[in-house]
Amino acid sequence: MSNELQVSLSFGKAPAAWGKDALLSFSEGSAKIHLDDNKVLFTQVQTAARTLNTMAIEAIKLIGTGWDNELRWAFSQGFYTAKKGAPVDFGDISESDLEQLTQRKNIIEWVRETVNLGPQALYPELLCEKAVALIESVLPAEQTITYNIIAGEALLEANYQGIYQVGKGSSRAPCLLELDYNPTAEQDAVVDYALVGKGITFDSGGYSLKPSDSMAYMKSDMGGAATLTAALALAIANGLQKRVKLYLCCAENMISNNALKLGDVITYKNGITVEVLNSDAEGRLVLADGLIAAQESNAKRIIDAATLTGAAKMAVGRDYNCILSMDEGLISSAVRCAKSENEKVWRLPLEDFHLKQISSSFADIANIHSGEGMAGASTAAAFLAKFIDQPETNWIHFDLSGSYQVSGNGLWAVGGKGHGVRTISNMLFS
């Protein structure tokens, strides 16, 4: 394309005219990224791409030496915006590498585009259908998946009370997607991983109504469901041969004469009762159903992911995803995989005493912590732990504080980021 800007890499300093230690310099029709070998190359390239993105450049072609697949990927991530995607020609690259990068780009941009859809354009059943379509699009020719979408009153018949109660205030039905990727085709094959994602396609807060500034980006509250769907899709594309079950817990959290009310008590399928003290703590209410279903599958390990708490964002901002678990092996796996995939995770505490901080006078537990000075992200994870038979082992919770960017920064455009997809996808191979 004649309007492409050609971008190359250099480990030499930029000419002084571009400023002291300038990251970028320009000549006619081209730009050069000046890398400092003492700093993280991935971050420098993504930052340069974000800078170029602000210049109304229509398209990019990567040229010259020094580009490996990770640096190409970093550039694509930084150059992306919600309106135009990431029009990047990866340049001189082998056919197999191009196929791998293009597939990764398509999968993670599916997350970004799906998260960025407005709430009128995306509702619970459509999110489930889109998830199925993405997984089907990456399946090898000889493989199939099985799935079931349980919606509306059928949730009550199946006794999935949390999803139903949260979603009953909306005219658009809540639902649970149960999807089985079983490459062995053996009915009794062990389920290596169960993935449980929060899919709140819009969160008004319910009767615990959010202020406008906080509600404006609550179309992104299905980020957990999108992230786990894409993580499974990427793993399949990379040749995963383990059986994985995916559970998406989807609803709109709205206000109506039929909506969930403060003081309501939900009785779950496993007999646990929950007093609702805050209808804006709805994500944990729907995830509880998914965790129950995941355990019924006898999965060896469970990963859940959700845009669950503001407390996680207060702790780490939007640069990291938070992980909480009592299983040191899974924590180590998440940290190792994140590092290898150039993503960021940060461990927050989860201990036995957190499980005692969600007491209720009217039910087994409440859906928020009681008293001052409690750790919001940890007590939210403690709530989920109540629905795990043995929370000390084989379960990890991702609080996806880094999955959505409310305002652009030096690395990311506004909107969905897909941050966390590669980490979790990598974990499925361990």
Q: Where does the chain hold its CATH 3.40.630.10 domain(s)?
A: 109-427
| Domain 4-93 class, CATH top level | alpha beta
Predicted local distance difference test score (pLDDT) of residue 197: 98
Which position among 61, 210, 336, 344 bears the catalytic label?
Answer: 210
The pTM (predicted TM-score) of the whole model is 0.97
Query: Would you call 284 a catalytic residue per the annotation?
Result: yes
Catalytic residue among 284, 313, 318, 422: 284
When pLDDT is cut at 50, 70 and 90, the band that residue 372 belongs to is low
Q: How confident is the model at residue 371 (pLDDT cuts 50, 70, 90)?
A: confident
Q: Is 344 labeled as catalytic in the residue annotation?
A: no
Residues pairing with 195 in the sheet: 246, 303
What number of residues does the chain have? 430
Tens digit of pLDDT for each residue in 188-244? Answer: 999 999 999 999 999 999 999 999 999 999 999 999 999 999 999 999 999 999 999
pLDDT in the model for residue 1: 45
Give the dihedral sign, CA 210/214/218/222.
Answer: negative
Q: Is 4 exposed, middle or buried (0-12, 13-18, 19+ CB in 10 A)?
A: middle
Q: What is the DSSP pairing of strand 273-275 with strand 265-267?
A: antiparallel
Percent of the chain with pLDDT over 70: 99
Q: Which residues contact 288 (CB under 8 A, 6 or more apart)?
A: 162, 268, 272, 274, 383, 384, 386, 387
CATH 3.40.220.10 domain residues, the chain: 4-93
- DSSP β-ladder status, 193-203 and 244-253: parallel
Q: Does 109-427 carry CATH code 3.90.75.20?
A: no
CA 220/CA 404 separation, integer angstroms: 7
Rounded-to-integer distance, Cα 261 and Cα 253, Å: 11
